[in-house]
Chains A and B, each alone.
Chain A
Amino acid sequence: MMRIIIGEGSCGIAAGALKVHNSIEKLITDSDTFSLSSTGCIGMCYLEPIVDIYDGETLVKRLVRVTPDKAEAIVSAVRDADLTKVEDITISRDDEAFLLGQTRIALRHCGLIDPTSIEDYKSTDGYRALKKVLTSMTPEDVIEEIKLSGLAGRGGAGFPTWFKWNAARNSKGEDKYLICNADEGDPGAFMDRALIESDPHSLIEGMLIGAYAIGAKEMIVYVRAEYPLAIKNLEIAIAAAEQDGLLGDNILGSGFSCKMRIKAGAGAFVCGEETALIESLEGKRGMPRLKPPFPAECGYMDSPSNINNVETYANVAWIINNGGGAFAAMGTENSKGTKVFALTGKIKKGGLVEIPMGKTLRDVIFGIGGGIRNGKKFKAVQMGGPSGGCIPEELLDTVIDYKALAATGAIMGSGGMVVMDEDTCMVGMAKFFLDFTALESCGKCVHCRIGTKRMQEILSRIVEGNGKTGDIELLSELSLAVKDGALCGLGQTAPNPVLTTIRYFRHEYEAHINEKRCPAGECAALRRYSIDSEKCVGCTLCARGCPTKAISGTVKKPHSIDETLCIKCDNCRKVCRFGAVSVI
């Protein structure tokens, strides 16, 4: 039987997948024998909406950037079993390579199954690992298997998962909690959202195995309220799992009982920090606690609690099914398995990528991601969002490995990979992230509350052309102090974008401060526009579009810009068809 499946993750929906869905649905008649359903995100977000045509279990056609007006051609192609009718929207060989370069474990079901169907999940070995655990393994066996796999926390810190589970298991306490951190707040990161939206049962199964291992009776998923589709799909999955006896009392007749609930967070970045997350779960203001005591001893409701990130749990069932050894066979000496990255920025092919540890950044950015858009030059990649650092071109052969990335000053992070090209000002980039962390600081500790604010102010004056001699040194000193003195991960890592940009792009800071010049031409306050009188043909387009009437000149005569009136809106440069407007 032919099946049409539409990618309806948030990325697909944003690109118009629901309109495509409706258009196709309207054309289907009772006599049609093919089916129409939806799936999650396959990871090629840049090609959305994606429509897959299956013959039975075999993918026979993948259509990309589908628009509603193609619905007729699609229905007709499937109805007539003539797929040449949709050749024009078929994925290219080059784009197919995006998936071929990956090893999908956490994302193994994403974009392939219907996330709202527990049957779909079960048909792909779903809940087999849970059955295995409940019927043939002790909690200690589970922890041992996870230890063997080398699985480490995918939220960014890379702490060994088995160690946390073991600590929580060994903590005294009747009521233990297993918590999932789905408060994905890094700008440019969307791994967790896509995972929950596309494969919620994989999270439930992974968490159940963890809950069994530590002895928890309740599981809580702390997810951002800004992820409505993830919450909806997870709610559906929880209900289905409860219905099937996979959640609640005496699961699968094993005697193990565990329930699950969702807590929607109100969107504070700091609540991604595990102790702040616990405070928020308890209904308090999301502010980090001092550690020790660690959550494994004294967490939610002062009970032993284990917190892992979505991606970490998504690996667990696979590890149980395939063995820790199979997972550990991938990767490097100190980083095992695979890692999911959200590839964004000035990259040609943006989306979700899962690759084994040990590949290089170049493999991801130029291999899978296809390099930089619009023929521009690569400048740097920001790893790990606001907590991470930027890595310059000369370090692109760095392998993806917790230690190797840390040595560059960046971090593995939760998987955000923001690619920047030659037009990106690195001081402006550092300021962008400091604007974010300064705003998202919970306000508790002095270093983060005031320190990040001061760093942001210094960066602001530099990009506005008011930087002073000594500002780089002051920034560096303050950065190290904040790193050392801040209470939680948010503050301790907030200076990373500043420190790495100073380390690799110090000349850009110096140009801003000493020459009042932005080498990338991005900082508006430092931009100076001029019109090349040889190139200008006097078409008047720029003058007519100038909001402050800063451009003057007569028709067919070269125009000129009055810098005192120019507000650097960039409009003239954008509209000029002769390349006559240049920025100094």
Chain B
Amino acid sequence: MEKITITINGKIISAEKGETILNAAMRNGIEIPNMCYDKSVKVYGACGLCVVEAEGMPKLLRACSATVSDGMVINTDSPRAKEARKIALELIMSDHDGDCKGPCSLHCPAGTDVQGYLKEIALGNDREAVRIIKEKIPLPASIGRVCPHPCERDCRRKHVEEPLSIAYLKAFAADNDLASDAPYMPTRKPDSGKKVSVIGGGPAGLSAAYYLSLSGHSVTVYDAMPEMGGMLRYGIPEYRLPAAILAREVDLISAAGVEMKNNVKIGHDITFDEIRENSDAVLVAIGAWKSSGIGCAGEDLDGVIGGIDFLRRVNCGEKVDIGKNVAVVGGGNTAMDACRTAIRCGAEKVYVIYRRTRAEAPAEDIEITEAIEEGVEFKFLTNPDEIIGENGKVVAVRLQIMELGEPDASGRRSPVPVEGKFETLEIDTLISAIGQKCDPRGFDGLPLGARGTVTADEKNCATALEGVFAAGDATNRGASIAIDAIAEGNLAAKAINAYLIGMPIDFHKPYYSEKKITPEMFAGREKQPRAVMPVKDPQVRRGNFEQVINGFSEEVARNEAKRCLECGCHDYKECKLIRYANIAPVDPHRFDGSEHDSYKEQKLGVIERDQGKCMLCNLCVRVCSEEVGAGLLGLVGRGFATVIKPEFSDSSKTEICKSCGRCVELCPTGALRII
């Protein structure tokens, strides 16, 4: 073969006369996007992605078919080529209907591969399930118990009957792993020689520490409290998350190489500056540990305490004297934890004061139900007007009666006072659980935002201080749920790792294709109700701090996991379409219009074809005809309506198919799979 010289993207390479531009580029490790090309079949030229610009050529060239000539100067990523590619991808996406990932994974702040671990649980591979979970969550047994599980909110199974019990299945797998002889432990990368200090051993700090350590960095976590876990340890009551379970998971994080230093308070035991000097990078993940004030007369009285302060004291083993009658103000999960803890601390009468109705309460509904079962009395549509004291000590609270008015910015109907209507409750203690704030004392020089939280870049957790990152409840919008803190901890770990190795990374949120849902899609499915978590009897459990849930049995858990509809695409990681769509990046809805009907069919042997994901590259048709020699597939219809079917819509082809799977191998998207 005659050798010639060409230039691709400024790189001078040797090519063979007569070969295609795509070939020459591939041999030299230069990627030109393509979806309808494969070396085992003839060039086809349909996808329009491999277009490149060559100097002196008025038109864009299809790299898959245009041949090289001596001295050719090619740009695979010229603005014109990129624009043409982008429009081609946008056109393909406009007729693409499929889920890259299931709604469970998309709604998990940490992006956990829910479908992946549910499948392993269904198959009985709990350790493999834990491996998948621990790619994103280092504390699965704990999170599985306490997470308000946004993953379950849009679980597609709800269109059949009810969402899967995803969180509890996570806890199930993690418990089994913890109980095994050798719980899952990933391999740590070789030492990088870099030192990272993490301040705060809560979910954000521990997650960041875990992943940074696995990346080879030397990580030390400093925490002011005697034990690690942060709010998981001191804000969540024992009956929801036993401290022993959390401790075992924290131990595994230690075992992954993280050094833990408790009882270290910044600004007291060590200064922030000292830590910065001793470290290559610092993560501030100090949480939000100050209760917000109630803002009414009498809030300074003896007997008025903050919700998280109360929970922390109880979790520290302190006997807190709350008297017989307790009122908890607030409708969130902290309020639920506080009221149910108050019951367990021996209060005879516990009220929850909430200014809206149960429907608007941010607490998990099951928490409200269980609180009621345990004897808590809910005073919905009331708001503290004045806390009344005698001799500096709370004796009662006067409540303003409320009603619901117009919807506010959050979409919830806002509570408005009913003029002149009040109610008074005699109480010994008032617990205020209406919010919590960050306490950044000791972190001199760290810029704070309007809410008193640490200002950090939401894309990469960076603060204005060199080498200092921040994550979790202490940052930006303030306190949120544990899984949000873990997600931010993961992000911080990635950002810090990138910072330490000097490799900036792109943090833009990837685009995922999402399927359009219609009720008909779920019509034929057999109904199988969601597994109910067995719990202890309310009369028994209200008297102690033992864990309320009893856990799933093996059989229940496996069957529950099998309910998963596997919405996410099996081919997501290999899919060329979504990868290119993210590189371009595309505006996927610019050309929205009519689409092919989205259906799945099994016309050939064990091969299932998903019409919504087919982009008619025709590779399956061609490989079956040209390489396999069977010629079982063909194009049917014209124009936009063209679809791939057994050749000439001949159903007898089904029996001839030997299921060699070549069509599935070559499919550039997840349109084909072997089932």
Contacts and interface: CB of A to CB of B under 8 A. Distances in A.
Q: Do A and B bind each other?
A: yes
Contact of B48 (A442, A446, A453): A446
Contact of B638 (A443, A450, A457, A478): A443
A445 B84 contact: no
Interface residues of A, number: 30
Contacts of B87: 447, 477-478, 481, 485
Interface residues of B, number: 35
A485 B48 contact: yes
Nearest to B87: A481
Contacts of B88: 446-447, 481, 485
A447 B91 contact: yes
B91 A445 contact: no
Given A450-B94, A481-B87, A444 B639 contact: no
Interface in B257-307: none
Dominant secondary structure of chain B at its interface with chain A: loop
A419 interface: no
A446 B638 CA distance: 13
A446 B640 contact: no
A450 B640 contact: yes
Most chain A beta-carbon neighbours within 10 Å: one of B43, B92, B640, B641: B640
A453 B94 CA distance: 11
Interface string A130-149: 00000000000000000000
B116 interface: no
Interface in A461-483: 474, 477-478, 481
Contact of A449 (B43, B44, B45, B642): B642
Q: Which of B48, B88, B642 has the most CB of A within 10 A?
A: B48
B635 interface: yes
A67 B524 CA distance: 66
B593 A446 contact: no
Contacts of A285: 634-635
A268 interface: yes
B640 A484 contact: no
Contacts of B502: none
A495 to B, nearest CB: 13
Interface in A420-461: 438-447, 449-454, 457
A100 interface: no
Contact of B591 (A292, A442, A450, A487): A450
Contact of B91 (A268, A439, A442, A451): A451
Contacts of A442: 638-639, 642
B638 A484 contact: no
A454 B638 contact: no
B638 A439 contact: yes
B640 A445 contact: no
B588 to A, nearest CB: 13
B48 A441 contact: no
Contacts of A487: 45-46, 48
Contacts of A450: 91-92, 94-95, 591, 640
Nearest to B641: A443
Given A450-B591, A454-B593, A439 B639 contact: yes
B51 A485 contact: yes
Interface in B609-647: 615-616, 618, 634-635, 637-642
30 contacts: A268-B638, A285-B634, A290-B43, A290-B62, A440-B638, A441-B638, A443-B616, A443-B635, A443-B639, A443-B640, A445-B45, A445-B46, A445-B48, A446-B91, A447-B88, A449-B616, A449-B642, A450-B92, A450-B94, A450-B591, A450-B640, A452-B639, A453-B593, A454-B91, A481-B83, A481-B88, A485-B84, A485-B87, A486-B48, A487-B46
Leading 7 A-B pairs by shortest Cβ distance: A443-B642, A453-B640, A450-B91, A441-B639, A290-B45, A481-B87, A457-B593
Given A446-B46, A481-B84, 11 more contacts: A443-B639, A447-B48, A449-B642, A450-B92, A450-B640, A452-B639, A454-B591, A474-B590, A481-B83, A484-B59, A487-B48
